[in-house]
Structure 1
Amino acid sequence: MALREQTALVTGAGRGIGKAIATLLASEGVHVGMLARTSSGIDPLAKQLAEEFGVRTVAIATDISAREEVEQAVAAVQEHLGSLDILVNNAGIGTFGSLVDMPVEEWERIVRVNLFGTYYVTRSVLPSMIKAGHGSIVNISSTSGERGAATTSAYSASKFGIMGMTESLMQEVRKHNIRVTALTPSTVNTELAAKAGLKTSDEDWMMQPDDVAELVLACLKLPDRVFVKTAGLWMTNPR
């Protein structure tokens, strides 16, 4: 499936996986809207992608855990780029610690950003996709959304929620020719991995953001007849 001249919205696009996805889509001729918590990463990226690939870009600093802020940002992106063909819900945070030791406010914040943020953005984009009769939504979940582990209760709960929402939404909107997919990468060399105490300098065994971006692109290029609920991505040589 050719993606040139399609329009996309990528959340968490200022760094890591989101930046890699936005860059790869722009290289395919996709016009890209970018959301991130701060403008420091997405403003220069929007300028770079427009200059390098000749695509239209728009960057809006947005707290995706705030529903009204999300609705305003999505409306602004659509005003600039038109109806969205692609949504990649990538934005997410993680703090690790035992359930009783982690402050309640932090546990709630992780779920608000990761799960409610994905819901708010999707809910804002979906009506235009339904009206157009096509679209692709890719939710970046995690292997933590398939199995829990000690110290990951909040992060896993949010990612399990994304998996359930993906499966339900896929069944709701398939009749509108909208494909909804959840990707479940394992450890990726990002700031989140470093925060978890992993040795991110050892790049031989750890996946890179570009690896996840390539999987997103592969999902988007599938024929219209193909619907894939989840697609996993694992490190090649786990230790």
Structure 2
Amino acid sequence: MLEARTALVTGAGKGIGRAVAAALVREGARVGLVARTRADLDRVAEELAGFSGDDASRIAVAAADVGQRDQVERAVAELRKRLGPIDVLVNNAGIAKFGAILDMPPEDWEAMQRVNVLGTYYVTRAVLPDMIAARRGDVINVASTAGEKGVANTSSYAASKAAVLRFTESLAAEVRRHDVRVTALLPSTVNTELASAVGLTIGPEERMMQTDDVAQLVVAMLRLPPRVFVRDVSLLTTNPV
């Protein structure tokens, strides 16, 4: 159980973020939900209230575009006021669009870097002082196996996830002395609305990696003793055929 932990999950309105938030609430953590769309957050918060027993005060929401630093700082301040200092951060918010370099509008290329890379940086920078002060914390960055190797038509997405991996490594080396763990999760294709929207499907749906699978790993990592420092974990789906 994680009753003593206070978590912030980005991209919590659906998909992996929603599954991670649900798993953390079930484990007894206080959980702040961040996403761009307030209606999605309110719906998820209502769902999660059923997992929290009589203590719905363990769940708080703040709408923000993680690619906008002022919105991030405002959201983190609001959640800190509601829930207390944050010692678990799951940087899950991300967007994806594929296409050839010359076919993709520069605005789309730039948007992926802003959300996937700068968003990860902005939220981490906003919560890190709490963790350093407490000498305890976990930052879990949801990257992708796409960040390990570029392939045609994925230049912006692959570049953004590669940047998240290097950010994770650098930050881990920087804050390890403060007893703050920084870990990258590298899922392959997960059965989400986002994957479906960009045409990423692998075999039968039931054979694909599910959002709850990723959430279970997040919980397992948070249960590790503080002396165990995991830098990155790859999640590969089983053979789907």
1:225 is aligned, of 218, 227, 230, to: 227
| Residues in 1 aligned to 2:139 and 2:199: alpha-carbon distance in whole angstroms | 31
1:118-197 maps to which residues of 2 (within 5 A)?
Answer: 118-197=120-199
1:137-174: per-residue Cα shift (whole Å, max 9, x none)? 10000001111111111001110000000000001001
- Give structure 2 stretches of 5+ with no counterpart: none
* RMSD after superposition: 1.3
TM-score, structure 2 as length reference: 0.95
Shift of 1:128: 1.1
Shift of 1:199: 3.6
1:1-239 maps to which residues of 2 (within 5 A)?
Answer: 2-53=1-52, 54-55=55-56, 56-199=58-201, 202-238=204-240
Q: Which amino acid aligns with 1:188?
A: V
Q: Which amino acid aligns with 1:21?
A: V
Secondary structure of residue in 1 paired with 2:41? helix
| Residues in 2 aligned to 1:77 and 1:206: alpha-carbon distance in whole angstroms | 34
| Residues in 2 aligned to 1:232 and 1:52: alpha-carbon distance in whole angstroms | 29
| Residues in 2 aligned to 1:40 and 1:5: alpha-carbon distance in whole angstroms | 28
Secondary structure of residue in 2 paired with 1:80? helix
Could you tell me whether the CA contact under 8 Å between 1:190 and 1:200 is conserved in 2?
no
Secondary structure of residue in 1 paired with 2:207? coil
Q: Which amino acid aligns with 1:42?
A: L
Could you tell me whether the CA contact under 8 Å between 2:203 and 2:240 is conserved in 1?
no
Instruction: Tell me whether 229-238 or 51-60 shows the greater mean CA deviation.
Output: 51-60
Shift of 1:219: 1.1
Q: Which amino acid aligns with 1:12?
A: G
Secondary structure of residue in 1 paired with 2:229? coil
Could you tell me whether the CA contact under 8 Å between 1:143 and 1:185 is conserved in 2?
yes
The count of residues paired between Structure 1 and Structure 2 equals 238
Could you tell me whether the CA contact under 8 Å between 1:193 and 1:200 is conserved in 2?
no
| Residues in 1 aligned to 2:44 and 2:194: alpha-carbon distance in whole angstroms | 21
Shift of 1:238: 4.4
1:83-108: per-residue Cα shift (whole Å, max 9, x none)? 01100000000011011110001000
1:180-201: per-residue Cα shift (whole Å, max 9, x none)? 0000000001122112213478
- Give structure 1 stretches of 5+ with no counterpart: none
| Residues in 1 aligned to 2:29 and 2:124: alpha-carbon distance in whole angstroms | 19
Shift of 1:46: 1.5
Identity between Structure 1 and Structure 2 (%): 54
Change (3 A) 1:147 1:200: closer
Q: Which amino acid aligns with 1:28?
A: E
